[in-house]
Amino acid sequence: MSIDWRKKIHVPYPYKGNVLTDPQYREDRKAIEIKHGNGWWCNDGKGWEMYPETNVEYQKRRRKERELE
């Protein structure tokens, strides 16, 4: 079974010009990243504005949590 490429539906590209400067592209990308993450395991679906916890900060937080237990 093969797919005929000539019968493929053409979907026009929704953005004009340079996508890196297109405000609609940036809004769409941010919405997708918030919903699904950006593919990085540490992002956790929070978009680019996330402040990642460094290893040192993680260890300090874990020590404080252990002291409270």
Residues sharing a CB contact under 8 Å with residue 31, sequence separation 6 or more, in sequence order: none
- Express each pLDDT in 13-52 by its tens digit: 888 888 778 888 888 888 887 777 666 555 454 555 556 6
What is the Cα–Cα distance from 48 to 41, expressed in whole angstroms?
13
Structure tokens at 19: 């996508």
- Express each pLDDT in 50-59 by its tens digit: 566 777 888 8
* Number of domains composing the chain: 1
Domain containing residue 39: 5-68
Contact 30, 47 (CB under 8 A): yes
Amino acid at 62: R
Q: Against a cut of 0.85, is the pTM above it?
A: no
What is the Cα–Cα distance from 61 to 69, expressed in whole angstroms?
13
